């Protein structure tokens, strides 16, 4: 059976996102990828892309992500979470009210150095593997944005928080920075991804539930269509003739449209995602295809 689309998985704490993706790939017998790594400690939304939909992987980097979690003040770990080794302990002598001021100062665009215990590659190898072996890892800072950082509850030494951030942001690093500013250190105790763009974990199923759908022959009931995954970008609905043109790689005239230079948008027909394009010239109404997901005869 040919699968195309995505499965929304509510990952439990322990396995990596890559491990869950491989299990689904083997279960369905199809190529699979994911739309963003979750730390092993973390739970929550993992989007597993199937078949041709893996071509959409890089577009999820434009989508905001939101998290809830709990931080523990007074203890720093080498990994920034409770799975790491304790490197420093402090007494927590701080007025709870003052924490809100520090949290507010951390929002906005900024440069962030990813944690060395991460899945990023350093000199061709996973950073966390090098770090575990005691090898020196020096990751470069990159721009991220914290759109919202809220404290839900304070019960020292624990803080319950909510975060909305740009893709590629490490929550562990944010909490480490908060601990440093408070002068008492901090690490993440628990973390849950709630959303990627407009896709919510409330619509996700556990791996075990997903497997049950497959074993009962009902897996297509829970596979999300590619068009649903791209709902956070502008989508242009086309008639069949223009859809056929796109399947042949031809450009269509878009005199009625105008986007900012660099804006990505999608073409669709009959609730099917046809292609992803990027606007390059507002004056001449020009765009370039980045991904064409259908071929001649598939419209």
Domain ranges in the chain are 5-61+200-225, 65-196, 233-292
- The CATH number assigned to the domain with range 65-196 reads 3.30.2350.10
What residues contact 216, with CB distance under 8 A and at least 6 apart? none
Query: One fold for both 5-61+200-225 and 65-196?
Result: yes
**CATH superfamily, domain at 5-61+200-225:** Pseudouridine synthase (3.30.2350.10)
Report the pLDDT value the prediction gives residue 54, as an integer from 0 to 100: 93
CATH 2.30.130.10 correct for 233-292? yes
Q: What is the dihedral of CA 251, 255, 256, 258, to 10 degrees?
A: 80
The whole-model pTM stands at 0.90
Residue 1 is predicted with a pLDDT of 55
**pLDDT, tens digit (0-9, with 9 covering 90-100), for 137-184:** 788 899 999 999 999 999 999 999 999 999 889 999 999 999 999 999
Q: So which residues are the catalytic ones?
A: 39
Mean pLDDT score of the chain: 91
- For the chain, which ranges sit under pLDDT 50? none
Which residues, other chains included, contact 51 with Cβ-Cβ below 8 Å and sequence gap of 6+? 2, 3, 4, 5, 30, 31
């Amino acid at each position: 059976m040919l699968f195309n689309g995505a499965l929304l998985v509510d990952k439990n704490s322990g396995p990596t996102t890559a491990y869950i993706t491989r299990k689904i790939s083997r279960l369905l017998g199809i190529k699979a990828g994911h739309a963003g790594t979750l730390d092993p400690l973390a739970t929550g939304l993992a989007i597993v892309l199937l078949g041709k939909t893996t071509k959409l992987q890089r577009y999820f980097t434009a989508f905001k992500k939101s998290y809830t979690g709990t931080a523990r003040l007074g203890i720093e770990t080498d990994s920034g979470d409770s799975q790491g080794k304790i490197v420093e302990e402090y007494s927590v002598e701080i007025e709870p009210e003052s924490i809100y001021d520090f949290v507010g100062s951390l929002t906005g665009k900024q440069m962030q150095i990813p944690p060395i215990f991460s899945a990023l590659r350093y000199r061709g190898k996973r950073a966390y593997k090098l770090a575990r072996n005691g090898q020196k890892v020096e990751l470069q800072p990159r721009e991220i944005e914290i759109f919202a950082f809220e404290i839900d509850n304070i019960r020292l030494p624990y803080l319950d928080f909510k975060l909305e951030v740009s893709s590629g942001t490490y929550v562990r690093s944010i909490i480490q920075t908060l601990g440093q500013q408070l002068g008492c250190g901090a690490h993440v105790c628990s973390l849950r991804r709630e959303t990627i763009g407009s896709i919510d974990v409330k619509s996700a199923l556990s791996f075990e539930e997903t497997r049950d759908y497959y074993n009962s022959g009902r897996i297509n009931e829970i596979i999300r269509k590619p068009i649903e995954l791209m709902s956070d970008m502008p989508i242009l609905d086309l008639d069949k003739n223009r859809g056929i043109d796109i399947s042949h790689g031809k450009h269509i005239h878009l005199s009625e449209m105008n986007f900012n230079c660099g804006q990505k948008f999608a073409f669709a027909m009959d609730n099917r995602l046809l292609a992803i394009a990027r606007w390059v010239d507002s004056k001449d109404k020009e765009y370039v295809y980045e991904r064409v997901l259908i071929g001649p005869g598939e419209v």
